[in-house]
Amino acid sequence: MTIWQAIILGLTQGITEFAPISSSGHLILVPWLLGWSIVDDPALNKTFDVALHVGTLAGALAYFRADVWRYARAFASSIRHRRIRTVDERLAWALVVGTIPGAIVGALFEDAIQEHLGAPWLIAVMLVVFGVLLYAVDRATRRTRDVSTIGVRTGVFLGVAQALALQPGVSRSGVTMTAARAIGLDRESSARFSFLLAMPIIFGAGVFKGITDLSGGLQGYGVQFAWGVASSAVSGFLVIWYLLRYLRRHDYRIFLLYRLAAAVVVLVLIAAGVREATI
């Protein structure tokens, strides 16, 4: 893996983690499309993917630093008083309980999903199915609630939706936004809560993988890791900043069109024999 490959993959992760187009799918498809063999060690490959996710977490923390601090204080206050008294406390609990479904599913099935459900043809299908679903749900929803209306039950519902994104091609942010729009949240609030809800999962995965997969070290790829993390952090921050503004006035059509186009490219390359349907 070269430094430029690491930067490109970092930009890929940073852009696609928060845009509803599937970061896990793109981290598989980009090397597949370009014919890259990143590193020979599968464990190190996984660790690099997690490192890129940690980079986007850093970008998200930089953007949402005030929100994270406010909700952390609200959660601690709620625990101390043994009840939920304010909007911030309710939102903090929604984020906590919303993290649980994804953590459970990830702990139980992540390796099986990565080993058996990461074929490019299947990613293409998921890009189409969940892209169409996002757009259709958004167009059908007329009610508009803001983020302050989210409670614990809503947090659980959106957390269950987020757990579906372990399948590459689904998109963590996309499926959470779809579920949020289905219950009447406006587009900006759907995106904001989706981004906040992703942060504990990314943090937990980063800690877990850092402990379990780094026993062999970085094997001389430390510089590449650093560039990949930095590029994912910067691009992740910028995408959050842009999307929250974009979704105030626009729908998800551009993301649907992109997902359809990406799927067509993948399936055409497979049909033409240019690339294999599986990895």
Per-residue pLDDT of the chain in tens (279 residues, 90 and over written 9): 889 999 999 999 999 999 999 998 999 999 999 988 765 566 677 778 888 989 999 999 999 999 999 999 999 999 999 999 999 999 999 999 999 998 898 878 877 777 778 899 999 999 999 999 999 999 998 878 888 899 999 999 999 999 988 899 999 999 999 999 999 999 999 999 999 999 998 888 777 766 666 555 666 778 989 999 999 999 999 999 999 999 999 999 999 999 999 999 999 999 999 999 887
Query: Of 207, 175, 166, 170, which is closest to residue 193 (Cα–Cα)?
Result: 175
Residue 267's pLDDT is 97
Residue 158's pLDDT is 95
Residue 233's pLDDT is 97
Non-local (6+) Cβ contacts of 120 within 8 A are 28, 29, 32, 266, 270, 275, 276, 277, 278, 279
Residue 229's pLDDT is 95
CA distance linking residue 150 with residue 171, whole number of Å: 21
Residue 39's pLDDT is 55
Residue pair 13/53 in contact by the 8 Å Cβ criterion: yes
Residue 111's pLDDT is 72
Half-sphere exposure of 273 (CA within 13 A, CB side): 0
Residue 243's pLDDT is 97
Residue 41's pLDDT is 63
Non-local (6+) Cβ contacts of 80 within 8 A are none
Q: What are phi and psi of 126, to 5 degrees?
A: -65, -35
Residue 118's pLDDT is 86
